[in-house]
Chain A
Amino acid sequence: MPQFFSNKKLILLLVSIIFLVALISFSLRDRQNANLPEQFIKDTVGFAQSLVAKPANYITGIFNNINSLLNTYEENKRLKMRLEDFAVLQAEVNTLQSENESLKELVKKESSLKDFNPLKATVIARNPDQWEEKIILNKGSSHGVKLNMAVMTAKGLIGKISLVTPFTSEVELLQTNNPNFRVSAIVQGKKKDIFGLLEGYDAERNELILKRIDSSLDVNVGEQVVSSGLGGIFPKGILIGEVTEVTTDDFGLTKMAYIKPAADFSMLEDVIIAKRNANEVDGSDGNGTNADLTNEVEESTGEGEE
Chain B
Amino acid sequence: MIRFLIPFVAVVLFLLEPEFALFSPIQWGEEILYLVPRFVILYLIFISIYYSRKRACLYGLFFGLLYDVFYIDIIGLYSFLYPLVCFVAGSSIRFIHQHLSVTTILSIFLVGLMEIVLYYFFSFINLTTIPLASFLSNRLLPTIIANLLFLSMLGWAFKYLINARVLQHTRDAS
Contacts and interface: CB of A to CB of B under 8 A. Distances in A.
A177 B125 contact: no
B73 A31 contact: yes
A58 to B, nearest CB: 11
A45 B76 contact: no
B79 A266 contact: no
B70 A45 contact: yes
A204 B128 CA distance: 12
B126 interface: yes
Of A19, A45, A136, A269, the most chain B CB neighbours within 10 A belong to: A45
A127 B18 contact: yes
B76 A131 contact: no
Contacts of B27: 266
Nearest to B139: A130
B71 interface: yes
B130 interface: yes
Contacts of A16: 80
A49 B118 contact: no
A118 B80 CA distance: 41
Interface residues of A, number: 45
A101 B90 CA distance: 71
A163 interface: yes
Contacts of A20: 76, 79-80
Interface in A95-129: 123-129
Contacts of A132: 72, 127
Nearest to B80: A20
Given A24-B76, A45-B70, A127-B71, A265 B25 contact: yes
Contacts of B24: 126, 130, 266
Interface stretch (B32-40, B45-53, B93-101): B32-40
A185 B161 CA distance: 55
A7 to B, nearest CB: 16
Contacts of B70: 41-42, 45-46, 49, 125, 136
B21 A126 contact: yes
Contacts of A17: 80
Given A28-B74, A53-B19, A126-B21, 20 more contacts: A19-B76, A20-B79, A20-B80, A23-B76, A24-B74, A24-B76, A27-B73, A27-B76, A52-B19, A127-B18, A128-B36, A128-B71, A130-B24, A132-B127, A134-B72, A177-B127, A203-B134, A265-B25, A266-B22, A266-B26
Interface of B: 11, 15-27, 32, 34, 36-37, 66, 68-77, 79-80, 118, 122, 125-130, 134
